[in-house]
């Protein structure tokens, strides 16, 4: 299934994509794509629906029908740093001996086609295509062998980052990761029954039509089951929590000289089978 949320910001409704690429309304079945609706039993009930009998929503998704973040009421937005060895090399940092965890604030989350706002004072706003993992069943100290039973599905994330805030200012990485609009999420949450091989998903990102990032989840240093298990050692994972698993090479700070977003650009990105994002970049406010 491809689950989604559509409508104006802050008033999104739950939906599902049908075989023709149209949105069907799920309001009569679930309150939101969030919380208990992400449990395995709830997802199993949704799979039994005859999608073509659900109310058809007017408009074309990501065209004249806005899609919001594909998950609602996200409690934690957990990110993994330096999880591709070639990205660690371009960042001039060693491959970490265990996963690097940082956070994006949930106020950063926005829809897959919503504008990206360069923050005031920014000089180094960067892009990062990432595989997002959405927790469906919570838990602590999850065994790696059971980890995928806790996953509701996958999605596309752009881990937008301000490198000066992140690396050149005092404090943790979080400072440069959680600015408003720095977490485009979606277009849809793809349940695991539609993912052929989580360890072989092509991913890409373009800026103004120029290919910047090309990668594949086969080169993740720490794979998804390990990341779910590892994160659950340090926090209880809950339905709707998102884990963003790291980015392949080709980020702006890796170019010589570096290349960053200043406003006026269009950033497009996607992951095979999980959909695409396309966002305009707004210049920093005065």
Average pLDDT (92-117) is: 95
Q: Is 66 part of a structural domain of the chain?
A: no
Q: Give the structural domain span for 200.
A: 71-282
Summarize the confidence of residues 105-110 as an average pLDDT. 98
Question: What is the dihedral angle through the alpha carbons of 109, 215, 136, 34, rounded to the nearest 10 degrees?
Answer: 30
Structural domains in the chain (count): 1
**What band does 274 get if pLDDT is binned at 50, 70 and 90?**
very high
Rounded CA gap, 89 and 242, in Å?
Answer: 26
Flag whether 40 is in a domain. no
Residue 37 forms part of a structural domain: no
Task: Classify residue 16: in a domain, yes or no.
Answer: no
Q: How many CB atoms lie within 10 A of CB 66?
A: 18
What is the predicted pLDDT for the residue at 208? 98
> Residue 94 has what pLDDT?
85
Q: What is the pLDDT of residues 136-148, one digit of tens each?
A: 999 999 999 999 9
Residue 100 domain flag: yes
Cis ω on the peptide bond leading into residue 257 (within 30° of 0)?
yes
How far is CA 270 from its chain centroid? 10
**CATH code for position 227:** 3.90.850.10
Residue 149 domain-assigned? yes
What is the tens place of the pLDDT at every residue in 174-216?
Answer: 999 999 999 999 999 999 999 999 999 999 999 999 999 999 9
Residue 59 belongs to a domain: no
Q: Give domain status of residue 80, yes or no.
A: yes
Res. 85: pLDDT tops 90: no
Residue 171 has pLDDT above 90, yes or no: no
């Amino acid at each position: 299934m491809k689950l989604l949320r559509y409508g104006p910001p802050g008033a999104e409704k739950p939906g599902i994509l049908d075989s023709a690429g149209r949105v069907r309304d799920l309001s009569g079945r679930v309150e939101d794509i969030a919380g208990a609706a992400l449990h395995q039993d709830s997802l199993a009930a949704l799979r039994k629906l005859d999608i073509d009998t659900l109310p058809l929503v007017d408009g074309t998704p990501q065209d004249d029908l806005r899609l919001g973040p594909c998950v609602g009421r996200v409690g934690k937005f957990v990110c993994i740093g330096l999880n591709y060895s070639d990205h660690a090399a371009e960042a001039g940092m060693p491959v970490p001996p265990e996963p690097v965890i940082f956070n994006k604030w949930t106020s950063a989350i926005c829809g897959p086609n919503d504008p990206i706002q360069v923050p005031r004072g920014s000089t180094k706003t960067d892009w990062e295509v990432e595989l997002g993992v959405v927790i469906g069943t919570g838990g602590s100290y999850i065994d790696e062998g059971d980890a995928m039973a806790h996953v509701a599905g996958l999605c596309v994330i752009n881990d937008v980052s301000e490198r000066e805030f992140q690396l050149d200012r005092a404090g943790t990485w979080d400072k440069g990761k959680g600015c408003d609009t720095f977490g485009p999420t979606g277009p849809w949450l793809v349940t695991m029954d539609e993912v052929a091989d989580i360890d072989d998903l092509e991913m890409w990102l373009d800026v103004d039509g120029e290919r910047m990032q090309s990668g594949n989840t086969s080169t993740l240093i720490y794979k998804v089951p390990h990341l779910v298990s590892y994160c659950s050692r340090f926090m209880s994972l809950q339905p709707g929590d998102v884990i963003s698993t790291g980015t392949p090479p080709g980020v702006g700070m890796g170019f010589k000289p570096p290349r960053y977003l200043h406003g006026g650009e269009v950033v497009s990105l996607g992951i095979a089978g999980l959909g695409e994002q396309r966002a305009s970049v707004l210049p920093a406010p005065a």
